[in-house]
Structure 1
Amino acid sequence: MQTAGFLGYLLRRRNYVALTAALVTLMFVSAAVFAPLLFDWESATRVSLGTALLPPSLSHPLGTDELGRDMLIRIVWGARITLVVAVVSVIIAMSVGIIIGCLCGYHENWLTNATMRFMDFMIAFPRTLLAIIVVTILGSGVLSLTLAIGLSTIPANARLFRGPILALKRRQFALAAKALGATDASILFSHILPNTMSLIIIQGTLLLADAILIGSGLSFLGLGPQPPIPEWGAMIAAARAHVTSHPHVIFAPGLALFVVILAFNLVGDALRDYVDPRSRKAL
């Protein structure tokens, strides 16, 4: 799936909301990637009590926090940390979930059935509570937060991808490959799995928004990266004491979190429409 084709589709459909969301997502990713070139790390963590809780101004566009740190710099660096946690956790969840879903969908026996029953049990278990348990065991930090989000998302991905694999393995192209002597691994990973690529892209985009939300929620509870590391959820938690007297301290990270999650969800919905043959046929 080419990015230019997706953007062209949005323009042809005049879906300017999704197009704006795509641009916001691009800005978020660019800020995360180029954060070290925009601002140095010391500026995001250096304490300067003499400039604490300053309102937005030309020198500090988003104001400063309770320790005198520039909110814009911390939000940009927070975007980098948020993106790393979200992307790595989604890679873990998607990779393991797809493998489990593929194996359990392609091979139907007592072991795979028992595995899926366990996945169903884990889906019924609250994800946030599971993530909290993982963080509590591993300790707070970026790595444990990433693993907590990834591990808690594996069961849903396994269940999601098992269904398409069950259907695709009965299609003519899979049966033909088997008749020609192709191995099960070749059929599964060379013929069946590539036909789920659209689902993988869409699910990955939507999971990024979910991972950002869960990660910020855990950081809000104090289970994420510890100070002075800038993380949006932790910044919101630290700003609660100043919400009435200096609302800009909580408004800036809260708005950033809201906009990014909304943008990823809108892009994911647009991608779903883009890969839908009925939607493409309507053009």
Structure 2
Amino acid sequence: IVGCSNNTVTLATFTPPAVQPKILATVYVSPTPNAEQQQALAAANPATPTPLIIPTATVTPYIGVFLGEVDNGEDGGAVIAPALLAGATSNIPVTVALGPACPAQADVAFGTRWAENTEVSNALGCPIEGAANLQGTLQIFERGVMYYSPTGEIWAVSPSQSHFWYAVNAPPVQQGDIVVPEGMLAPSQGFGAVWRGLPGVQDALGFARSPEQGTKMVTQKFQNGLLLADGGSGQVFVLLSDGRAMGPY
């Protein structure tokens, strides 16, 4: 139809709209908003809750060398050889658990110095009798002392060897001459009988340094031994049933 017409076709020209510049407005936010401004900010920027992530349990792979099943048998011994622990010390304070309190207590005549040694007091045990006050006899030797009780009992104590000898009654006197060093004495009577008759006493105590003398004594029997206090010197001996002598205290 256009080809058969003499009319000229005019094409429309598209003119793009003019670009209008955008004007940006900066909103001032006070660093110290008042209560109304704080509410407006909270409404404009609601807090987004953090989703709770629950991990899914899975089998944890073990990386290493398989050494076999667990042995539930008897203990094979210490992991660390005891010899490696010899002399080891620790800064961790250790509280020693003591046994039950004794129903009876040691007499006040013995003081408390001996009881401060817990090893000695535990070895001695609890009193089984009350204290006995005696007027006894003693004799001092080169390396020890001997005590005699009116009951006939005799104790020969060697502190240097931590040992003592005990006789319920004096044994028969052994005959024979003794060479006594100058300035020393050979014990006689009951002391002499124990000194000569019980093996080891003479060598342990040596010769007497002074004659026999009377002394006040206090004794008290315990489960595993005896406490003996010398009233003249104030010394206390712990005499255990196994022959050990502790002291003097």
> TM-score normalized by structure 1?
0.18
More helix by share: 1
TM-score by length of 2: 0.20
Greater strand proportion:
2
Name the structure, 1 or 2, with higher relative contact order (CA <8 Å, separation 6+).
Answer: 1
